[in-house]
Structure 1
C-alpha cells in the first residue's frame, strides 16, 4: 500500500533510468507514492516486468520499458512512449551508471575509462538533451542526475568512477544555468554508502583485494554509523523535484550520513 501521505507530485510524469532495483527503484517508488506517474526502465526485460508488477500491486501508477541508455533508439523510444502513455514528461532522473573496474585513477586502462565515461557522463548528457523537448512542453520541469559522494570526495580505489561522478556535478551546474530562464530546474543527488547490489559488488571486490576500503570499514567512518537506504535516497529526489524545492537549482545534495565530503 502507499504509505506516503504527501501528494506533492500529483499530475507529474517522471522517467527514471536504471530503476528496477537499488537507488533507482527507491526513487521511482517514492515519486509514484507522492502521486507521480512513473516510467521505470532497465536493460533487462524480466526486471522491468517484475518491478512494474510489484509497484502496481502497491496501487502505484507506473509503466515500464527496456532501455539500455547507451542505445539511442532505446532512449528516444523511452521518452516517446512515456509521452504517449502518460501525456508528457515533467521529471527526468538519470540514474544509470557503471563501475567496470576498480583501481587508482591513473591505473585505469583506457577502455575501462572510456566505457565508464560513456555510460556515466555522456549518456546522462544525452538523456537530458533528448528529454529537453518534452520537458519544455511542461511547466516547471526537473532534471536530477544521480552522482555519488565519491564525486565530491573521491575514494582512492574507485578513482575513475569518482571522477566520472564529479563530472556529473559539473554537468548539473552548467545545465542549471543554461535552463534557469526556461523554468527547468537541474539538481544532483550524491548518495553516500547505500546498501544495494551495486555497492555490495564493489565492496566484495575490494575485500577480495584485501583492501582497507571495504564497506564495513567505510560505514564505521560515517558519523551516523550506518549505511543509507534506497527509501532515503528516494525522499531526497522527491523533495528536489517538488515545488518545495522551487528555489533550488544547480545544487548537489549529499546524502551520506554526515560524511565530510567537501572537495
Structure 2
C-alpha cells in the first residue's frame, strides 16, 4: 500500500529540512525524485546522497517565484521522465517577524508570491499532464500558523491558510481526474527554517513542555506523512490538512 516505486516525484525546497528528508524518503522507496531548490550546488548535494544510497534522482535549481523558471523545470522533468506523479510543494519563505502593522507591502507581496502564487503556477503546469498519466498526488506544506493566531508571523500564517484553502479547491477540481490534493500542517520542526525557535534554549524548553509529545518535530516525521499521502495507502483521502505538531495545538 505504500509503494511509490517508479513514480516521478517533484519536490520544491528540497535542499534541506523537510524537503531534503522527503526526497530521501521517497527515493529510498523507489521513486524517481526531482530535487529542486534555489541553489544548484545544494540540490546536487542531496542528489549525491540519494544516488549513493542506490536511489534515482536529478537536481534542477529553480526559484519558485519565477514563473518562467517553473515552466522550464517542468518541461525538463517531462522531457526526462515523461511527467510527474507526485508533486510536493514545500518551498516557502518568511522574511519578517513582528506585527502585521509593521509589515511592508514588499514583504507581503514576497510572502504571498512564494508561498501561494507559485503553488498555483506549479499546479497549473503539472496537473494537466498528471491527469493524462492516470492521476497522482499533490502534497502542500502548510503550517499550524494557518489555524492559529500569532503576533509575530501573521503574514506567513495567512499565506499558509490560503494554501490550505487552495488544497481543498484543487481537490474538488481535479478529483474527477484521479488527482488527490492534500496538505500537511507541521508544528515546530527542527530545521533551519525554524532556527529562531530551535536555537533558543529557553523558548524551546517552554514550547516543548507545552507539547504532549514533549519535543519538536524532526524532518523525517513529516517526510513519513508525505510518503503516506503520495502512496496508495491514502487512496481515499483528498482535500484534507493533516496537523503534525506533536499535539501542540490540542495540548
What TM-score bracket applies, with the shorter chain setting the length?
A: over 0.9
Give me the whole-angstrom Cα distance separating, in 2, the residues matched to 1:184 and 1:218.
37
Equivalent position of 2:88 in the other structure: 93
SS at match of 2:248: coil
For 2:147 and 2:155, the matched residues in 1 are separated by 13
1:203 aligns with 2:197: yes
**Aligned partner (choices 51, 76, 80) of residue 71 of structure 2:** 76
SS of the equivalent of 1:260 reads helix
Conserved 8 A contact 2:187-2:244:
yes
CA distance in 2, matches of 1:105, 1:189: 25
1:10 maps onto 2:5 in alignment: yes
**In structure 2, how many angstroms separate the alpha carbons of the residues matched to 1:126 and 1:215?**
36
Counterpart of 1:254?
243
Asked if 1:49 is matched to 2:44, the reply is yes
Residue correspondence of structure 1 range 62-141 to structure 2 within 5 A? 62-141=57-136
Give the SS at the match of 1:153.
coil
CA deviation digits over 1:34-78, x for unaligned, max 9?
Answer: 211010111111101111111111111111111111112221121
1:99 Cα deviation from its structure 2 partner = 0.4
SS, match of residue 144 in structure 1: strand
Q: Which moved more, 1:127-136 or 1:160-169?
A: 127-136
Instruction: Spell out structure 1 runs of 4+ moving beyond 3 A.
Output: none
Once the two structures are TM-superposed, the CA of residue 204 in structure 1 deviates from its matched residue by 7.6
Q: Tell me the TM-score normalized by structure 2.
A: 0.94
Query: Which residue of the partner structure matches residue 3 of structure 1?
Result: none
Q: Is the 8 A contact 2:2 2:228 kept in 1?
A: no
How far 1:145 moved relative to its partner? 0.8
Q: Distance in 1 between matches of 2:142 and 2:151?
A: 17
Q: Distance in 2 between matches of 1:98 and 1:123?
A: 11
For the residues of structure 2 that align with 1:165 and 1:238, how far apart are their CA atoms? 21
Any stretches of 5+ residues in structure 1 without a counterpart?
1-5
Structure 2 gaps of 5+ residues are: none
